[in-house]
Structure 1
């Protein structure tokens, strides 16, 4: 560090307050402090002299003479926030920056952390204030602002965020955000945990959020999690469900990156695993929701923000928060100092006329960061004419520019829309063929990260040679990046700003025929969705899903409809039926309008829509639509066609869901007879139908018939699919269930043990089917292994969450293991429940198991009463009693008839968690389970309060 520039105090002040600054400097120096004060002053748009930068670097503290003129000065703001940012990374942190307030209230001082310290009274004399500053400075260590280390790079999920050389300024917005998210430095930490960065397209909200995560990495050692909602898609405002679906896909990616779930795990499992990880980690983390669209209500927003209490949520959006939630930080244009700095970052402007032209150009662009970044690249090209040449090109805008500006007027500053659109179009015009091709392809897709492989596949599908297509994409991405039209997005992917895509879509380019490229994209996305949903195939599917609606639009032709249908199927089979339902609804409406209700395609889509309704628990609607689809397919294709039989099997599934087990058995039997005659009794589809017959017979109380049928099913499954197949594990579990129902417990335990061993081989210990088989074995042995049930309960809470029906059944078993007289082991007593055997049903049409309908309220009341009795029987306040207390909290929370029951459950859960924390420590698995249940009950209470 330059020893010539070492000071105790850097005195920052507005030039209008120079007389006050001189007097205060004299007071400080009289007390032996060395003070830097700029004596030259600076005119608007002057560069910040190197001496100013060196003086800040060499100073131990900064004192701001905060008068009404101070925040109006760009230079004062720069000095203040630069010092705050450096001080944040030094011992003592922001206490190194002090404000002396004159002529305004303390509440008007920004950023707010300047008032975290006890400020001298506004009317205090300069001598008193100088004494206070002297005491503070002499008590400070010898570090200077220039000693501040660079911030550590945070841990990013699901992929690292890539810094941008186009980021300039924004220090006031960064500190306003930190004021809202992290009110520390003596001010307490009761600030809201959700902040909205609100601004127009291309204004730099995403870069600002990422810069916040990077600059204040020390505030969130648990990492930075980024989920992108892609709100600039034209359909987003009318489809908030799409936002939730996209976020769930990214939560899957985060859980996979952390090694919490296997590839392709259902969304609910991925979210539960991530929540458990965050609770166990017990560190602050930052949760960024990028580009939240309009139309998202409070319910969807709750599902998008940080899932646990240690998370702080930062949302970027073009629209205010729904319901006025959180704190709003407006992100507007860059001030002229930073705008000129960005504009001249590639080509410095010479003093005089060129400097003036740069200032005029920055003003014409309205301080719009994206347009300024593109302009910075353009003026560096030799034939643009520099700053003056680009400025003059705005004088006579072409028709493309005027049309784009007119249609994007609501997204851009009205007075500058034409200049901004002209700049973005000028940037694409300057691209060579490769760059223009890539930008045009990207404009057809959603503003989600794009891999070079996806773009290459689309080019190949449109007729380009494979090798040349790959090279063209590499060259085009590099060129688009050089002109700031794209940037790397981590993990080898690239990101194109939504505003670039919209401007290009509105322009009239013919280099790559749009419709041919769009059809190629439809084909490629459809192929990806039809591929395997595991391993690398899962990653390819995840990349394809965000682009489906953008590419298909209104699905008017067969390929478009196929693509949307595949997307709906993928979401449904991945455990996200709500997303599938939204897609199938849209597709069915389009098919019905274009083709009519009796068309084969419409009927097939109707069948998918009906299945999605069933998986969402809407069984009456599902039954009506499934019957309609079956009748229509039978009329067109005949009763023996595979599509017709699948539709009939779906009808049986809904009868099963509704508890009409005899009707379900008759339907499955009809499917079985036709399949056996058509395909043979050994065919896998025939075996599926037989499993349905057996399951319905078992549920209907015909246990002898079910056991006999399941014996045939087990033997045939072993011959056809082998004894290491998932369906063979299902058949073993089903055999155990039938033996148990007939009172043959030892035999049932043996079947369940075999099923458990096979599930361990197939899925590992942390899988729902593995836990089902293990729990069934425990039940079959008499339900006396309390420790075994307790371990299964702990795993289910972590894996499936407290509200999952399987977790509730395990809770029941846990409580019963404490009260064996209630388990029904004596004559006339009811046997404990088994986990539902995983009998085979038509693909994607399994009975909806992930739900807890209010119809089971009698069982919930019974569970609550048993939990109370088990808790009353506990004599000591030890670990065992604390776990039983946790079960009581869980059972009480399930009694949601009255709000005060949840409040009582919350108090019990808090007490149990605190006790386990004291007895076992924070990292013990049982403590983490208690924390998960506690947080779940907190969310139930919050939801009840908000719904009042």
Structure 2
């Protein structure tokens, strides 16, 4: 049996060796994984077995620790083992080599006293005292919530790269339990926000499945679009009395809260009907900050995106790290489709490849809520410039040139459009006043981008660059700046032959980028 399972990032191996030696010299049995694991691998059977033979986990919680998924798996496993015994900190200790605690998740560990890596004698003494109070090794088991009161979400294999967000959700839901750190003493709702397909529901599902042991009163999965019908399935009109009788903490998830048609107070009324409930909303809108602590989801980073599509960098980059698109393409690759063929299909006119793979209109759902002309125009500007960022001034320049309106009018329209698109999670801030488009299908929502196969429509970018040329610091600036300007007739491909911007359709069919063949009389 091990006294301590020492969990650390491989990047911290040299810093950890003196700690491991001091623990062993202090008479403790210490397990360290010297073999290492792949960057994005979960917990192996070997590691799980050694954890089950350990009294406690000691995390060397550097700023790099939460970025290693294996570390997060180890920490979560030990945390839940302690949670099953009534105290999540019973089986987890923290060594914090940093000056602050902001990088530490969950918040319960942030509130704990941290041993200093600079005072090994005191650290060993504290660790010996902690494990001395433990009767035996931690018990690892598959926790099962007492009851799924509503809904039965299932884990999906595409979940990857969101482990830090899982802890953020948990920390925010339980911030009231550590008021010395957070400054809050009462329960607070949490909202997972982001564009369609970015992984909001998937993150909520994974949280419910992995952390169900934290909610012995049950988990309720409520469909926000049909809230009344979902809640009716509980079979009672007295929800407060129902959960009062259970008498234990429960998780109340409102998935797809309809922010596009309900006011903030109406959505807030969907929160857990009892103080023992912890409420988690998922929604697209970023307009309701007062609804709860926001967890804003963006695209997956490049390393995780490549994993989902079998390692093909070009294919991963073509959809800008959009999880839904990556999942669809990854399944196609695993089914035997060549990544190069899929990449080319993404940039080919006709029905969206993603819609074909999903057998439904997934690209249309991305822009479902864009229902004003100003927002549609600005989205068209952003996708025309993609992958370059833009500012409100950039959009105003394009609108003024396209519609031949005074600059003050164009500026007002651009500001209105940017405001709506940011609220809908379709534009995200990047480096100050600059914004980027969050797109998942370049054949529908953005023009072809530079990459390993640059022959797809590069000449059509010239007119857009005349309004907003590539600038130092832009993504791919060197390659973009060298691209040919193209003929002036291509202006019609950006702004339409009639001089007006083509508006993105509600079903997403008008988002085909310039260079996809829209300059020959066909509607964009």
Same fold per TM (> 0.5)? yes
Distance in 1 of aligned mates of 2:42 and 2:210 = 24
Distance in 2 of aligned mates of 1:114 and 1:89 = 16
In the alignment, which residue of structure 1 is the partner of 2:25?
Answer: 30
What SS does structure 2 have at the residue aligned with 1:9?
Answer: strand
In the alignment, which residue of structure 2 is the partner of 1:128?
Answer: 122
Bigger radius of gyration among the two: 1
Q: Deviations over 1:761-812 (max 9, x none)?
A: xxxxxxxxxxxxxxxxxxxxxxxxxxxxxxxxxxxxxxxxxxxxxxxxxxxx
Q: How does 1:444-483 map to 2 (within 5 A)?
A: none
The alpha-carbon distance between structure 1 residues 227 and 41, as it changes in their structure 2 partners (threshold 3 A), is closer
The alpha-carbon distance between structure 1 residues 40 and 311, as it changes in their structure 2 partners (threshold 3 A), is closer
Distance in 1 of aligned mates of 2:109 and 2:119 = 20
CA contact (8 A) 1:27 1:130 kept: yes
Q: Which among 331, 334, 349 is matched to residue 398 of structure 1? A: 349
RMSD of equivalent CA atoms: 3.9
How far did residue 117 of structure 1 move? 2.4
Output the TM-score relative to the length of structure 2: 0.61
The alpha-carbon distance between structure 1 residues 415 and 294, as it changes in their structure 2 partners (threshold 3 A), is closer
In the alignment, which residue of structure 1 is the partner of 2:131?
Answer: 137
Distance in 1 of aligned mates of 2:163 and 2:54 = 19
Q: Which among 223, 226, 240 is matched to residue 228 of structure 1? A: 223
Q: Which among 440, 443, 461 is matched to residue 417 of structure 1? A: 440
In the alignment, which residue of structure 2 is the partner of 1:171?
Answer: 163
What SS does structure 1 have at the residue aligned with 2:185?
Answer: coil
How far did residue 420 of structure 1 move? 9.0
Confirm whether residue 247 of structure 1 aligns to residue 227 of structure 2: yes
How far did residue 21 of structure 1 move? 0.6
In the alignment, which residue of structure 1 is the partner of 2:327?
Answer: 373
CA contact (8 A) 1:87 1:148 kept: no
What SS does structure 2 have at the residue aligned with 1:292?
Answer: coil
CA contact (8 A) 1:368 1:420 kept: no
How far did residue 96 of structure 1 move? 1.5
The alpha-carbon distance between structure 1 residues 183 and 322, as it changes in their structure 2 partners (threshold 3 A), is closer
Q: Deviations over 1:242-282 (max 9, x none)?
A: xxxx423433x23xx42x3xxxxxxxxx4xx3333334443
CA contact (8 A) 2:193 2:286 kept: yes
In the alignment, which residue of structure 2 is the partner of 1:291?
Answer: 256
CA contact (8 A) 1:90 1:143 kept: no
Distance in 2 of aligned mates of 1:218 and 1:225 = 14
How far did residue 388 of structure 1 move? 4.8
Q: Which among 65, 70, 81 is matched to residue 70 of structure 1? A: 65
CA contact (8 A) 1:45 1:336 kept: no
Distance in 2 of aligned mates of 1:211 and 1:42 = 22
In the alignment, which residue of structure 2 is the partner of 1:511?
Answer: none
CA contact (8 A) 2:107 2:178 kept: no
The alpha-carbon distance between structure 1 residues 322 and 62, as it changes in their structure 2 partners (threshold 3 A), is same
Q: Deviations over 1:365-402 (max 9, x none)?
A: 444332232223212324x22x45434544x3325449
In the alignment, which residue of structure 2 is the partner of 1:554?
Answer: none
Output the TM-score relative to the length of structure 1: 0.35
CA contact (8 A) 1:371 1:420 kept: no
Distance in 2 of aligned mates of 1:364 and 1:331 = 19
Q: Which among 143, 146, 156 is matched to residue 148 of structure 2? A: 156
Q: Which among 92, 95, 106 is matched to residue 101 of structure 2? A: 106
The alpha-carbon distance between structure 1 residues 77 and 323, as it changes in their structure 2 partners (threshold 3 A), is closer
Distance in 1 of aligned mates of 2:117 and 2:335 = 56
Q: How does 1:845-864 map to 2 (within 5 A)?
A: none
What SS does structure 1 have at the residue aligned with 2:114?
Answer: coil
Please, which runs of 5 or more residues in structure 1 have no aligned partner? 1-5, 231-245, 261-269, 345-355, 423-500, 508-948
The alpha-carbon distance between structure 1 residues 330 and 9, as it changes in their structure 2 partners (threshold 3 A), is farther
In the alignment, which residue of structure 2 is the partner of 1:331?
Answer: 297
Distance in 1 of aligned mates of 2:348 and 2:50 = 46
The alpha-carbon distance between structure 1 residues 135 and 392, as it changes in their structure 2 partners (threshold 3 A), is farther
CA contact (8 A) 1:287 1:305 kept: yes
What SS does structure 1 have at the residue aligned with 2:59?
Answer: strand
CA contact (8 A) 1:15 1:41 kept: yes
In the alignment, which residue of structure 1 is the partner of 2:241?
Answer: 276
Distance in 1 of aligned mates of 2:3 and 2:318 = 42
Q: Deviations over 1:923-948 (max 9, x none)?
A: xxxxxxxxxxxxxxxxxxxxxxxxxx
Distance in 2 of aligned mates of 1:87 and 1:361 = 42
What SS does structure 1 have at the residue aligned with 2:108?
Answer: helix
The alpha-carbon distance between structure 1 residues 123 and 167, as it changes in their structure 2 partners (threshold 3 A), is closer
Q: How does 1:884-895 map to 2 (within 5 A)?
A: none
Q: Which among 261, 274, 277 is matched to residue 308 of structure 1? A: 274
Q: Deviations over 1:480-502 (max 9, x none)?
A: xxxxxxxxxxxxxxxxxxxxx95
- Give the number of the structure with larger relative contact order, counting CA–CA contacts within 8 Å between residues 6 or more apart: 2
Please, which runs of 5 or more residues in structure 2 have no aligned partner? 356-362, 368-382, 384-420, 427-435, 446-505, 513-524
What SS does structure 1 have at the residue aligned with 2:166?
Answer: helix
How far did residue 31 of structure 1 move? 1.7
Q: Where is the strand percentage greater, Structure 1 or Structure 2? A: 2
The alpha-carbon distance between structure 1 residues 168 and 151, as it changes in their structure 2 partners (threshold 3 A), is farther
How far did residue 28 of structure 1 move? 0.5
CA contact (8 A) 1:181 1:194 kept: yes
Distance in 2 of aligned mates of 1:80 and 1:281 = 30
The alpha-carbon distance between structure 1 residues 126 and 284, as it changes in their structure 2 partners (threshold 3 A), is same
How far did residue 289 of structure 1 move? 1.4
CA contact (8 A) 2:322 2:440 kept: no
How far did residue 195 of structure 1 move? 0.8
Q: How does 1:278-677 map to 2 (within 5 A)?
A: 278-294=243-259, 296-320=262-286, 322-335=288-301, 339=305, 342-343=308-309, 356-357=311-312, 361-382=315-336, 384-385=337-338, 387-391=339-343, 393-394=345-346, 396-401=347-352, 408=367, 414=437, 417-418=440-441
CA contact (8 A) 1:180 1:193 kept: yes
Distance in 2 of aligned mates of 1:82 and 1:103 = 24
Distance in 2 of aligned mates of 1:336 and 1:53 = 28
Aligned residues: 376
Distance in 1 of aligned mates of 2:145 and 2:157 = 16
What SS does structure 2 have at the residue aligned with 1:128?
Answer: helix
Distance in 1 of aligned mates of 2:277 and 2:33 = 42
CA contact (8 A) 2:83 2:214 kept: no
